[in-house]
């Protein structure tokens, strides 16, 4: 039985990756410090004999007993609301955390896949974004703590690959959605669905002309799984190329939820990208991958998940508190 370590295991994507690797017959070691993850996302795995959980902050030295075949580094805040509240922790997990896990991969002779992001492209001047585009990033802007953490993560990963001959994989993740997203994490799909379920107006930032593309979580996990097992060491975009304006997307949510919410507009946050759409030509070529699940189907599954939340969860204004993780 092959053994895989998944950091950020209690997060949205991390928990789905745990499920996938368990279903493929792996022994899964999940690691999380719950700074943004939620124990609820992995509680269904508590009695699985092939799952072990370790509560740990990967910015501290990581020790794993026994062999390891693969490491997937998904520990990081991923929501703007989160990483603006915990900027230093965001930088540390992308730098110190990645360094620790690359060192572990080297010691265990394991292949490591790191979770990068479409944010490495910043507010892009090229559209759609392909892997050979270097990006348009404001390193000292408020979003720079996330963008630059991920760019450093890619750099040090390639350094370990070139200098130590480490087997590395880099996935650039574009907007992904599905069950287990946090309702109030600031991202557009849970924000819109939560507002609709509470009978609130839908909040659009800017004039709504900015575009996004949304990949359902099962498609994303499939792309990540194929990339890990591939022979390709450079970054690969995994996302859905079907683009939509935020205005049109808000109208889709109103129709899906059967509500009659108004759309209200607020000021666009600093450095918020106006266009975000992956060029997935490379993923098609080397992984034979492209998304299969339509937005209609994926949104319905996600909406059903949010409808299943308790009233307390639905109306809780703040889902994460970071006081215990912040050192003054």
Q: CA-CA distance, 266 to 167, in Å (whole number)? A: 45
Q: How is residue 258 annotated by DSSP?
A: T
Residue 146 a catalytic site member:
yes
The one catalytic residue among 146, 160, 216, 225:
146
Asked whether the beta carbons of 193 and 249 are under 8 A apart, the reply is no
d(Cα 44, Cα 42) in Å, to the nearest integer?
A: 5
| β pairing state of 211-213 and 202-205 | unpaired
The C-alpha angle with vertex 93 and arms to 87 and 96, in degrees rounded to 5, equals 120
233 in Cβ contact with 168 (< 8 Å): yes
Residue 88 phi/psi, 5-degree rounding, is -70, -40
- Cα distance between residue 89 and residue 155, in whole Å: 19
Cα–Cα dist 114/6, whole Å: 10
d(CA 209, CA 172) in angstroms, rounded, equals 24
Where in the sequence numbering do the catalytic residues fall? Answer: 146
């Amino acid at each position: 039985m092959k053994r895989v370590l998944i950091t950020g295991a209690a997060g949205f994507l991390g928990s789905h990756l745990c499920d996938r690797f368990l279903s493929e017959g792996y022994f899964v070691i999940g690691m999380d410090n719950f700074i943004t993850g939620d124990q609820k996302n992995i509680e269904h795995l508590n009695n699985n004999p092939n799952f072990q959980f370790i509560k740990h902050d990967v910015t501290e030295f990581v020790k794993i007993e026994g062999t390891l075949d693969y490491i997937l580094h998904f520990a990081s805040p991923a929501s703007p609301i989160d990483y603006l509240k915990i900027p230093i922790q965001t930088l540390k997990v992308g730098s110190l955390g990645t360094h620790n896990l690359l060192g572990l991969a080297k010691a265990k002779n394991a292949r490591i896949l790191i979770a990068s992001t479409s944010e490495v492209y910043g507010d892009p001047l090229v559209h759609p974004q392909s892997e050979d585009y270097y990006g348009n990033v404001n390193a000292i802007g408020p979003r720079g703590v996330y963008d630059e953490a991920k760019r450093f993560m890619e750099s040090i990963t390639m350094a370990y690959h070139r200098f130590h001959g480490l087997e590395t994989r880099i996935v650039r993740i574009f907007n992904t959605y599905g069950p287990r997203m946090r309702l109030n994490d600031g991202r557009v799909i849970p924000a819109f669905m939560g507002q609709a379920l509470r009978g609130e107006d839908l909040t659009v930032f800017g004039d709504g002309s900015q575009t996004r593309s949304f990949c359902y979580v099962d498609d994303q996990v499939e792309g990540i799984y194929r990339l890990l097992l591939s022979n390709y060491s450079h970054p690969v975009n995994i996302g859905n190329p079907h683009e939509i304006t935020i205005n049109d997307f808000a109208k889709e949510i109103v129709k899906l939820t059967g509500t009659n919410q108004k759309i209200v507009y607020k000021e666009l946050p600093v450095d918020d990208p106006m266009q975000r759409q992956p060029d997935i030509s490379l993923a098609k070529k080397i992984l034979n991958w492209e998304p299969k699940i339509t937005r209609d189907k994926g949104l319905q599954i996600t909406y059903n998940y949010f409808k299943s939340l308790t009233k307390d969860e639905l109306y809780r204004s703040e889902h994460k508190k970071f006081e215990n993780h912040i050192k003054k």
